[in-house]
Structure 1
Amino acid sequence: MRTVKDLPGPAAAPLVGNALQFRRDRLAFLTTCAREHGDAVAFRIGPAALVLLSHPDAVRELLTARQHEVSKGPVLQRARAVLGDGLLTSEGETHRHDRRLLQAAFSRQRVTRYAQEMVDVAADRTASWVPGRALDLHAETVRTTLTVAGRTLFGTRLDDDVALVSAALREVLSVYGLLMLPAARVLLRLPPARRRVRRGTAALDALTARLIAERAEGRGTGDDLLSVLLESTDRRHARDQVVTMLLAGHETTANALAFAGHLLATHPAVQDRVAGEVLGVCGAGGRPSVEDLGRLPLTRATLAEALRLYPPSWAMGRQAQVPTQVGDVEVPTGTVLLASQWVLHRDPRWWPEPGTFDPGRFLTPAPDRPRFAFFPFGGGTRQCIGEAFAWTEGVLTLATILARWRLLAVPGRELTLDPLLTLRPRDGVWIVPAPREAV
C-alpha cells in the first residue's frame, strides 16, 4: 500500500507547487505526468494535494465504488459562485433529489420526441450556408444546439438570444483558470474577473427571469423541464438548474460536433465513407429521422471518435471527504483526485495509434479494452443525465449536415484548443461548405 507522499510526480516549486506548469498548458501537463510518472501521480496546486489517476480500473473505482466518499472537486465547488446550485455543482441529497426530478425530461421516450426538432433546427441552420464561403463551424453548432435546448428543454425559442447566451457563457467560462487556484474566491472578487463574472451572470439571470416569467404567465407547453422545475422548487433554484442546462445542454454537444466536423474536413476519405452511409439512408439533401439512428453506425462511430480525441469534458475532479483508498493508494481527507478523459482517451495501451482519427475503432467490439478507457460522459450516479439526448442530437445533426454539405478544410486555419470548464476550440473551427450534390 502506498500513501500520496510515496507517489512519483513532477518537481514542484516552493509555495505555488505545479500551478504555473499546469496553467501554461493543462493538457500537456497532465499527459506528461501520466506518461513519465505512471498511473498514479502526485502534484500540487499551491498547498492543495492532487493525484492524477490514469488507469481505467482506478477511474472506475473512483467514480463508482468510492463515489459516496468523495465530493465534486474544488473547481466545481468554486463554480457555484457563477453557476449556482444546479445539477452540475450540487451534492448529497440535493443532487439526488434534483436528478430524480429532472430524469423524466431526459427519458428515452422524451428524447425520441425531441429528435424531429433536432433535425429541423439543424436543417434550417445549414440551409443558410453559402457554398464556397468559409464559416466558423463551432459558432454554427453553438447556435444549433442552443436553439434545440430552448425548444426542447424550456419550451421556448431562444433563436434570438443565441448571441447573448453565447457571450454570457464565454464570460463565465473565461474565469476557469482562476477557479483552479486556492485563492479563487478572493480572485473572483477582483477586477477584471469580477466584471466578467458580473456581466455573464447578469445576462443569464435576465434571460432565466424572462423564461420563468413567461411560464408563470402560462406561455409554453407546460410539460417541459422548466415547467417541472417551477412546480417543484423555488425560482432561485430553478434559475440555477436552467443556467446549468444551458451550459451542459448545449455547450458539450456543440463542441463535439465542431470537433467532428474538423476531423472530417481534414480527413476527406473518411468523410466520404461517412457521407456515403448518410446518403444511403436519407439521400442528398434529405433529413434523417430518429428511426434512422440504428442505420447510421459509422456516423455514430465518427462522433464517438471525436469524443475520444477531443473530449469536451477533458478532466473530472473529486475531493476525498473521508480517508479512503483507490487502488493501492491511501488517500487522506481533502486530497483532490483527477481522472482525465484527455489522458485516458489517448493512452496507447487501450488505443493503438491514439492520435489517429479512425472511427472504425468503435464499429467492432474491443473486449480487452477496459470500460473506463472511454468515459466522455463520466460514470457512476453522477454520469451525465443528458447522455442519450447528446448522442441523439449529435448523430442526427451530423447526418443532416453531411446529407447536404461536404466540409472542406480552410488552409492556414489551425485548430487551437482551449481547455476551460469544457474543451473548446479557441479561435473557432473553420470550414468551407460545398454542396453535396455537386461532389
Structure 2
Amino acid sequence: MVDNYPEEPLQPPWPKPKPYTSNIFRRLARGWKSWFGLLNEWDFRVSLGELNLLGKRVFLVNDPLLVRKVLVDEVDLFPKHPYTLWILEPLIGRAIFSVNGEEWAIQRRLIDQAFQVANLKKAFPAMTAATSSLLHRLEMNGVDSFVDIDKEMTMVAADVIIRTILSRPIEGDEATDIFKAFSRYQRHAGRALVLRFLRLPKSLIQLSLKDDAKVIRNWIQAFIHERLEQNKVDERNPLEKIDFLDTLIMAEDPKTKKKFSEQDLVDQVCFLFLAGHETSASSLGIAAWLLARSPEVQKQMRVEVMSVVCDRPIHSMLRFDELRQLPYSEAVFNEALRLYPPVSFFIRDRDKKDGELATSEGRRRCPVGSLLTLSPWVIQRHDKYWPEPHQFKPERFLKNSSSLQRNAFLPFGMGPRKCPGASFAKQEALLVLAELVRRYELLPVTDQDPDFVGLLTVRSQNGIRLRLRELEHKT
C-alpha cells in the first residue's frame, strides 16, 4: 500500500451550529426539523454545557472522562432516559435499545447468545448476496451514470439485514412502502423530543408515530408468525442452516430460563431492522460521498483492495478473511463515522440520587431528573480532542496514530450498552465500499451537496447524488 496521503485533507460541508441564543423557544424552533438546530457554537468548545429547558436541567456532556463515567463506570446511575422509550415504543416496543435494569439484562443475554450462534462468518453469505444485487442494479444504469447513492445504500442495508434475519431478500415494491414509512417515522420522532420538552403528554406524542410504526410492525410480525407456525410442524435438525430469527427463537436466558415470546420477537426484530438498516444506510451513503469528494483517498483505498484480490476476475467478490486485510479501508469508514455518526446523540437520566458532574473546567450539581445528552456529533468534532476536527483524514485511524482520542470516538456507544452489532456493521460496510471502489470511480455532483439533518439518524433530506464511472477490469 502506498502511504501518499493528501497534502490538503478535505473539509466536507456540514450543518454548522447556530449562534448562541438565550431564547429557549427560538432554540426549540431551530431544532424542529433537525436536532442540530438546538446546538450553539459554544457547544463544540466546552467540556460540559448546562441549560435550564423549561424547568428541566439538561447537560451536554463532552468531556471524554465524564462520557466514560456515564456510559461505563457508573452506568447504573445513568439509565436510558424515558424519552427514548416514548419516542421509539410505537415501533420497537420494549426492545433492548430503550429499556433498563433487569429487563435490559435478560434481553442482552438473549441477544448476545443469538449473536454467538449467528456469527459474522455465517452472516457473510447474506452480505455478499445483497451486495451482488446492489452491483447488478448499478450495472443496469450504464457505464457512466448518476445515482442517488443514499437510496441505493438504503436498499442494500435493508437487504443485508432482512437476508440475515429472515433468509429472504427484500423486494422492490415492499421496500418502497417500508422505506417511506421509516422516513415518515424519522421526521415525526425527531419532532417528538421537542414536543416533550414543551410538556405535551406521552399519548399525544406517540399518536403521530403509530400509523407508520404499524406498517413496519405488521410487515415484520407476518414473517415471525409464519416462522413460528412453521416450526411447530417442521422437524428439521436445529443445527442445520439457520438464520438470525432462528437463533432468537431458540435463545434461552441461562439465569431465568426466559425465552422471547412472539411479541418480544417482533420488538427485537423491529429494533434490529431499525438499527441494522437505518444506521448502515446513513454511514454507507456518507462514506461513498466522502470518497467521491476525495480522489486521493479513493485511489489509495482502491490500491489496497486490488492488492488483496490480485488478478481475480471481477465477478469473484472479496472473501470473508480478506476483509481483515483492508486497514486503510477500515480507517476510511471509521473517519466517515467520526464526521457523520449515524446516531448523533444519546440521552441518559439521573434517576437515583443527586450527584455532581466534574470536569477540568469545574463541577456542576446534577440533581435527580436531570437529562444528560452525550453527542458523538459534538464530541467527534470537538477541537479539544481531535486535531483538525472537521477535515476528512482517514489516516488518523491507522495503527500508531496518536490523534485517536480514548473515549472520544463512540459511533456505537461504549460500555455494557454498546451496540452489539458494531462488528456486523463494519463488516458490511467494508464489503460494500470495497466492491464499489473496485468497480467504479466515484465522482461528486458538484451542484448538489447533501442537506444533512439530525433525526433518529443522520440523513440527507435531498439524497446523495454521485456519478459512477465504470472502471476497466477483467471479467
1:83 to 73, 92, 101: 92
**Does the CA contact (< 8 Å) of 1:108 and 1:388 recur in 2?**
no
Amino acid at match of 2:127: M
Corresponding residue of 1:293: 323
Amino acid at match of 1:106: F
**Does the CA contact (< 8 Å) of 2:67 and 2:374 recur in 1?**
yes
Output one character per residue of 1:325-369: Cα deviation in whole Å (capped at 9) or x when no partner.
Answer: 332333110101111111111122222211111111111334464
1:211 to 215, 223, 234: 223
1:179 to 172, 190, 193: 193
SS in structure 1 opposite 2:468? strand
- Counterpart CA distance in 2 for 1:372 and 1:421 is 22
Q: CA deviation at 1:299?
A: 0.7
- Counterpart CA distance in 2 for 1:427 and 1:336 is 32
Amino acid at match of 1:427: N
**Does the CA contact (< 8 Å) of 1:72 and 1:319 recur in 2?**
yes
Structure 2 unmatched runs, 5+: 1-18, 235-239, 251-258
Q: CA deviation at 1:222?
A: 7.4
Pair 1:52–1:368, CA change in 2 (3 A): same
- Counterpart CA distance in 1 for 2:342 and 2:77 is 26
- Counterpart CA distance in 2 for 1:109 and 1:329 is 45
Q: CA deviation at 1:370?
A: 3.4
Corresponding residue of 1:425: 460
Q: Which moved more, 1:237-246 or 1:44-53?
A: 44-53
**Does the CA contact (< 8 Å) of 1:406 and 1:435 recur in 2?**
yes
**Does the CA contact (< 8 Å) of 1:319 and 1:337 recur in 2?**
yes
- Is 1:261 the counterpart of 2:254? The answer is no
Output one character per residue of 1:120-152: Cα deviation in whole Å (capped at 9) or x when no partner.
Answer: 311221222122221111111111111111111
Identity percentage over the alignment? 25
2:399 to 364, 375, 381: 364
**Does the CA contact (< 8 Å) of 2:396 and 2:404 recur in 1?**
no
Output one character per residue of 1:189-219: Cα deviation in whole Å (capped at 9) or x when no partner.
Answer: 38xx84x523312211221221112202327
Corresponding residue of 2:298: 271
- Is 1:401 the counterpart of 2:436? The answer is yes
Q: CA deviation at 1:177?
A: 1.5
Q: CA deviation at 1:17?
A: 8.2
- Is 1:170 the counterpart of 2:180? The answer is no
Q: Which moved more, 1:136-145 or 1:38-47?
A: 38-47
Pair 1:107–1:218, CA change in 2 (3 A): same
- Counterpart CA distance in 2 for 1:330 and 1:45 is 16
Cα RMSD after superposing both structures: 2.6
- Is 1:155 the counterpart of 2:144? The answer is no
- Counterpart CA distance in 2 for 1:426 and 1:187 is 27
Q: CA deviation at 1:257?
A: 0.7
- Counterpart CA distance in 2 for 1:35 and 1:393 is 31
Corresponding residue of 1:189: 204
Output one character per residue of 1:165-198: Cα deviation in whole Å (capped at 9) or x when no partner.
Answer: 21221121111222233257648638xx84x523
**Does the CA contact (< 8 Å) of 1:417 and 1:426 recur in 2?**
yes
**Does the CA contact (< 8 Å) of 1:17 and 1:43 recur in 2?**
no
Structure 1 unmatched runs, 5+: 1-8
Pair 1:105–1:31, CA change in 2 (3 A): farther
**Does the CA contact (< 8 Å) of 2:339 and 2:381 recur in 1?**
yes
Q: CA deviation at 1:378?
A: 0.3
**Does the CA contact (< 8 Å) of 1:44 and 1:50 recur in 2?**
yes
Pair 1:260–1:11, CA change in 2 (3 A): closer
Superposition TM-score, scaled by structure 2 size = 0.83
